[in-house]
Amino acid sequence: MPGRTALTAVTGVLLGFIPAVRQAQLPPEVVLLLFLPVLLYWESLTTSLRDIRTTLRGILQLSTVLVILTAWAAAAAGHPLGLPWGPAWVLGAAMAPTDATAVGVLARALPRRQVTILRAESLVNDGTALVVHGLAVGITVGEEHLSVPHVGGLFLLAYGGGAAVGVAVAWVNMNLRRRLTDPLLGNLVMILAPFTAYLLAELVEASGVLAVVVSGLIMSQVAPRIIQAEHRTQALAFWPLATFIINGALFVLVGNSSTPSAT
């Protein structure tokens, strides 16, 4: 993993000298819709659900309390610099959740228990950040208010709605995979699953990230029993390479997209 990271960094630096690459722009919608569901789905498929159960308390604390405290710290730092409290909290909500794909870089440097906590927390903290962000934006424009029932309802929608969509997508996925004998069709369903979960959850204003994660965790438990060996072999040959390329592309394109154009 460190060797891959170094190779990606060196490649990104070299590509940064190419004018056409420096001027490339990566719309946020592309990251959220095309890249993020695939990366999250693979992370959830390769995360141990048994380890998550044993560290659930720490995961919940990090994915809720720590995210809120981090958002508050960022807002408190931005407010003295001239940001009103509303936009400062929006900034804090955007900065608070950790990146699920970045945790994998530390996997070999930390004990297994700590890696499990960090990886699982990074997969589900989106729900908390989504609520904080929605409240900050809503209060700023005068469309939201702070009350325990209202905030509780937003958390329930973000987490409960996302989990429900993930379960529904996983159920459909399982039934399709049991019936499909063609490996190509089976893996096509696998590729479409994270996008379906993400879009359906976003449609009902729930956490699309949590929907993808829940769907992936369920499939990680049932896949060995319902998916044929030929299907799994093809998937294992495709997904690691695909996620590595996507991570590399994000590293290069996101970095270059922040570079001001010479024109």
Give the dihedral of Cα atoms 226, 222, 158, 36; nearest 10 deg. -70
Confidence check: pLDDT of 42 > 80: yes
Average pLDDT, the chain: 77
User: Which residues make Cβ contacts (< 8 Å) with residue 177, sequence separation at least 6?
Assistant: 186, 189, 190, 223, 226, 227, 231
Dihedral Cα 85, 91, 97, 100, nearest 10 deg: 170
Indicate the range of 18-22, 48-52, 184-188 predicted with least confidence: 18-22
Mean pLDDT along residues 183-195: 90
User: What is the reported pTM?
Assistant: 0.73
Residue 4 confidence (pLDDT) above 70: no
Question: Would you call 22 exposed, middle or buried from its count of C-beta atoms within 10 A (0-12, 13-18, 19+)?
Answer: middle
- The span from the first CA to the last CA of the chain, in angstroms, equals 37
CB atoms within 10 A of CB 80: 8
When pLDDT is cut at 50, 70 and 90, the band that residue 171 belongs to is very high
